[in-house]
Structure 1
Amino acid sequence: MSSTEEGAPPVRDPGLQPERTRMAWRRTTLACAVAVVLAWRQVLLTQPTGTEVVLVALLVLAGLAFLTAAHSRMHTLAAPPSAGPPRTMNARTALLATACTLVLVGLGTAIVL
């Protein structure tokens, strides 16, 4: 951080880090959406049982929850540089993203097998 005047608040020079982080969240969200669509397709191409339909519904809900967490984080990172450094991810968002990722892996595996 640097300051142009004595006593003035420091001006944030974030470089490209916030943009790279937003892009990483977008890529992860896209990968999550692809996993949901492929699982849905897998179930629709076979004779779906009630269990598979429930698994896909849970998969879609987990995907939407992950999208919500990712959108929240991307919105936080989109703050203008004059607003100071972006807030760190709160524990609730981190826990939600982690739980959604684990649920997506588990349900996706269950559907494929």
Structure 2
Amino acid sequence: MTAGDPGHDPIETEDARLTALDARLKAAHHAEKVRTDKARGNANKGYSQGNRVLAELIGGLAGGALVGWVIDRFAGTSPWFLLGFLFLGMVVAFRNIIRISNERPE
């Protein structure tokens, strides 16, 4: 051995134990990636459902108010269709929110 030599002999053939260890490590990394991707998917589903609830609530109220305002504008019955369709939009939004909350998780 020389002073710059690390202390082990270079091996021309690869050890079977190292090959098996590499294969097990790759399998473990793959299993962990699959597990964390599934966990992220469930978190994204909750986030997605929250966005759907918010969109239903805003869309129901805004859509009902817009339709009621347009009918009032043409019919000349100032606040009545606006209030009626606003209430109807709220009812439809809450019904859709209840339907979203009753969905089964994956």
| Fold in common (TM above 0.5) | no
Question: Which structure is richer in relative contact order (CA contacts within 8 A, separation 6 or more)?
Answer: 1
Which TM bucket (shorter chain)? Answer: 0.3 to 0.5
TM-score when normalising by structure 2: 0.41
